[in-house]
Amino acid sequence: MITFDSLEQMLLDTKQSGLPLWENILQSDYRAQNITREQSLSKMTGLLDAMIHADESYRAEDRSASGLSGGAGGRMSDYAKGETLCGPFLSEVMAGALRMGECNACMKRIVAAPTAGACGVLPAVLLPYARQFGASKEQLVQALYVASGFGMVIAHRASISGAEGGCQAEIGSAAAMAAPALVHLQGGTPEQMAHACAMAVKNLLGLVCDPVGGLVEVPCVKRNVIGAMDALSAAQMALAGIESRVPPDQVLDAMAEVGRSLPHILRETGKGGLAATPFAQQYAPKEI
């Protein structure tokens, strides 16, 4: 059941309800699913716990079956301990995105947020944020409700499928969910959250889906890093009072149109972009 079919409607409904945005999304969730508030909160808390467990269970020595993924999260974590180009917080965000993407490639349990290929973006910004700024578990659950509300509208108005809309629909959608979640944690307004979502989408508009060998590893794992950094920059711009000049819902509609316009070979077929390079051909499925 679609509770909100536009960001404008979601914000208006929230204003009229007098509730915080996360609470309004929570209530719409349990009513739509015909479950209790406690059941909804328990499910969302379970998703947060799964993210935390996946991050904590990462092992740098693990490698994917293809051999294309593994170890990058560990190398970035080691690098983050020293004097880095981007500083300790951003370095740990990058490491978190790599760790989660590699956990997925190594067939570990992750949270598709909104997809498995984009699973690293939300935890990569939320978990380091909690460590850096002292956010509680309750606050992180609230942030996940914010992310889910925006994700629901994105899925309805555009897409969260790489096969349908390119990687803009996966990494782009994940960034567009994570950005308003960060704005929420920083005490921003629902309007700022909507602009953060729109700016995150605009920054990755047109990103193609071109997995090497048809696997969610190259370039997917490292794109989680750029998605996380996109979310942080979009959130900070919104918190500074910077707005998307194109209305947020129109940005999502543009995303949908761009996705439909992408050539078929650039939408998860493994036949275009990086997937068509000589290197990638070594991993391409053999024709029978």
Per-residue pLDDT in tens (0 to 9) along the chain, 288 residues:
568 999 999 999 999 999 999 999 999 999 999 999 999 999 999 999 999 999 999 999 999 999 999 999 999 999 999 999 999 999 999 999 999 999 999 999 999 999 999 999 999 999 999 999 999 999 999 999 999 999 999 999 999 999 999 999 999 999 999 999 999 999 999 999 999 999 999 999 999 999 999 999 999 999 999 999 999 999 999 999 999 999 999 999 999 999 999 999 999 999 999 999 999 999 988 764
- Mapped onto helix, strand or coil, the DSSP state of residue 271 is coil
Burial per residue of 86-117, b for 16 or more beta-carbon CB atoms within 10 angstroms, e otherwise: eeebbbbbbbbbbbbbbbbbbeeebbebbbbb
Assess contact for 215 and 66: CB atoms under 8 A: yes
Cis peptide before 219 (omega within 30 of 0): yes
Assess contact for 121 and 178: CB atoms under 8 A: yes
So what's the pLDDT on residue 288?
46
The phi and psi torsions of 164 (rounded to 5 degrees) equal: -95, -40
Domain extents for the chain?
A: 7-276
Distance CA 220, CA 206 (A): 15
Distance CA 259, CA 165 (A): 4
DSSP letters, 99-142, are HHHHHHHTT-----SS-STTTTHHHHHHHHHHHHH---HHHHHH
- Max CA pair span of the chain: 60
So what's the pLDDT on residue 42?
98
The helix (H) or strand (E) run that includes residue 236 is: helix 220-239
Tokens read off for 255: 């995303």
> May I ask the CATH architecture of the domain 7-276?
Orthogonal Bundle (1.10)
Assess contact for 121 and 97: CB atoms under 8 A: yes
- pTM (2 d.p.): 0.97
